[in-house]
Structure 1
Amino acid sequence: MATLREIELRLKSVRNIEKITKSMKMIASTKLAKAQRAMQAGKQYGLANAEVFENANDQIGGNKLFIVISSDKGLCGGIHSSVSKATRRAFAHDPDTPLTGDDKTVDPASPIAVIGDKSKMQLARVHGNNFAMTFNQIGRDIPTFADAASVADLITKSGIKYDSVVLVYNQFKSAISYEPASMVVKGSEALAASDSFKAYENEDDATKDLAEFSLANAIFATLVEGHACEQSARQQAMDNASKNATDMISSLQMQYNRGRQAAITNELVDIITGASAL
């Protein structure tokens, strides 16, 4: 059984943890409001992409590049494991995979690019050989289009062969819920082969620039939505941690009071026994 001193030290430790989790919850609540505003603005980029790819050729190749959107930070629930599990399900041809489109088949050798160290560590156990590129230090604050453009530029210049890009990210549902989803971005060949784009007689460079810009748009839209999910999940995680700390403090305080009362009672018994003996 723990001594009173040990219980007292543990109480002090749990109270300090409670202060930290409450502070982190308040910070996450403030950041969540900013992240939601950025997400609403960033969604316009994703809507513009959807209109572009509605007219793209769907029959070009089957080489897919997976881009998993996560972050470097923890203490935010299961946002990292949700996209990691969705990616593993996609490679396992699970019918519940969040991939969009009619073609859900995935080549086991498909390359993977990971944004964020947390999902990188989780996916490295099973799909480490598929890693083509990894990124970190992106989205430490609200992601910007410059962050997305730099990722798209590095992917384009890396020489990775792909016909389409599948971005796996967390889709924001509400301030307390999210779910893994995906966004498919067609490559330059799919755009060039589309009848709608052929009508304009675009040069190859123009089509490649459009494909790269569309990829940057999609990455930016998914980054800001993933960031909003991260702040929402962190707020909920810190709220739960604070409640658990409060419950633990109540339990430890009761245990401490009982131990102190027992110690006082034993001392009184000793004094009374000694007085009776005299």
Structure 2
Amino acid sequence: MLARRTLSRAPSALSGAGPGNARNMATLREIELRLKSVKNIEKITKSMKLIASTKLAKAQRAMAAGKEYGIANSEVFVHASSAAPTPSNKLFIVVSSDKGMCGGIHSSVSKATRRAFAGVNDSPLLDGDNKPVEVDSATPVMVIGDKSKTQLTRAMAGNLRLTFNQIGRDVPTFADAAGVADLVIQSGIQYDSVVLIYNKFVSAISYEPTSMVVRGEAGLKESEGFKAYEMEDDFTKDLAEFSLANAIFAALTEAHACEISARRNAMDNASKNAKDMIASLQMKYNRGRQAAITNELVDIITGASAL
């Protein structure tokens, strides 16, 4: 009688353990697939970090060369100072790029532009006199790069006049800057000064949005330094266009160095996060696997004891 009671209980115990094991196996399979995908992501982020590290030295050398153009520009405008009031007709050129996966490098210049248009007192954008840039709601804006274009289109689509892409896919060249300056002049927009908004390279791990003001042809003609010399009209026009190209080239090279540095840091952080997630998933997988093995052993021992 005792043997019959034991045998009658054994099938119910074995059948009740089946769905639990199936659930455990399904959970382990999900964890295994997720673990595999995170490992693949870690390989990609590590590769992108190595590529960005390789490109950073080249970008910094290009930035050093581009800064020479910016220094020459600043010297020209120092000698071209004028007692006339600050020009009111401004043109904003926001410098970003088409590529992502580099942290908040693009949103920083977009936020600085929106703060300047909103009239915020602590705006990081300064004019040539180290005063906050004053703009009105109708100031035209041009954008280099699709990332900032997408961000600014949502907030100030009415101000956008011209956008550029495919600029500086590798290291920016002076030909890229000259092409942008040529299209800006041919656009027909009347301006007295151009405000370039770009990211300033502080160190390999930090950057900040800043601005550079470039005077137009009318501003150069009215300056006291240029009035002292007899010049042809074409000379001032060519000088204004060349100065704009110089400033754009300096901004492009510095923004490119900031982008590469930010991408390296972003991929480094992503790799560290992936490594932490892999450790957590591996521990969860091991615990689930041990629990499944323990349940199988319990079922086997229970069935053997029942028989």
- The alignment's TM-score, normalised by the length of structure 2, stands at 0.89
Distance 2:141 2:272 in 1: 38
The one of 39, 46, 49 equivalent to 1:15 is 39
**Amino acid across the alignment from 1:146:** A
The one of 205, 209, 221 equivalent to 1:176 is 205
Q: What secondary structure is seen at the aligned counterpart in 2 of 1:54? A: helix
**Amino acid across the alignment from 2:124:** P
Asked whether the 8 Å contact 2:125–2:209 carries over to 1, the reply is no
Aligned to 1:245: 274
Query: Relative to structure 2, which stretch is displaced further, 88-97 or 214-223?
Result: 88-97
Q: What secondary structure is seen at the aligned counterpart in 1 of 2:196? A: strand
Asked whether the 8 Å contact 2:95–2:196 carries over to 1, the reply is yes
- For the pair 1:114 / 2:140, whether they are aligned, the reply is no
The one of 101, 106, 114 equivalent to 1:75 is 101
**Amino acid across the alignment from 2:203:** S
Aligned to 1:55: 79
- The alignment's TM-score, normalised by the length of structure 1, stands at 0.98
Q: Deviation digits for residues 80-106 of structure 1, max 9, x if unmatched?
A: 000000000110111122222336321
Asked whether the 8 Å contact 1:60–1:163 carries over to 2, the reply is no
Distance 1:196 1:127 in 2: 38
Asked whether the 8 Å contact 1:63–1:107 carries over to 2, the reply is no
Percent identity over the alignment? 75
Q: Deviation digits for residues 104-146 of structure 1, max 9, x if unmatched?
A: 3211100000000000000001111101110000010000000
- For the pair 1:156 / 2:185, whether they are aligned, the reply is yes
Aligned to 1:188: 217
Q: What secondary structure is seen at the aligned counterpart in 1 of 2:189? A: coil
Q: What secondary structure is seen at the aligned counterpart in 2 of 1:99? A: coil
The ranges of structure 1 where at least 4 consecutive aligned residues each deviate by more than 6 angstroms after the TM superposition are none
Q: How does 1:23-172 map to 2 (within 5 A)?
A: 23-56=47-80, 57=82, 59=85, 61-101=87-127, 102=131, 104-172=133-201
Q: What secondary structure is seen at the aligned counterpart in 2 of 1:172? A: strand
Query: Relative to structure 2, which stretch is displaced further, 191-200 or 19-28?
Result: 191-200
Aligned to 1:225: 254
Distance 1:3 1:103 in 2: 58
Aligned-residue Cα RMSD (Å) equals 1.1
Asked whether the 8 Å contact 2:180–2:245 carries over to 1, the reply is yes
Matched positions, count: 278
Q: What secondary structure is seen at the aligned counterpart in 2 of 1:18? A: helix
Report the Cα offset of residue 61 of structure 1. Answer: 2.9
The 1:265/1:150 distance shift into structure 2, 3 A limit, reads same
Please say which structure displays the higher CA radius of gyration: 2
Unaligned runs of 5+ in 1: none
**Amino acid across the alignment from 1:192:** K
Distance 2:200 2:125 in 1: 13
Report the Cα offset of residue 203 of structure 1. Answer: 1.2
**Amino acid across the alignment from 1:87:** T
Report the Cα offset of residue 60 of structure 1. Answer: 5.5
**Amino acid across the alignment from 2:63:** M
Asked whether the 8 Å contact 2:124–2:132 carries over to 1, the reply is no
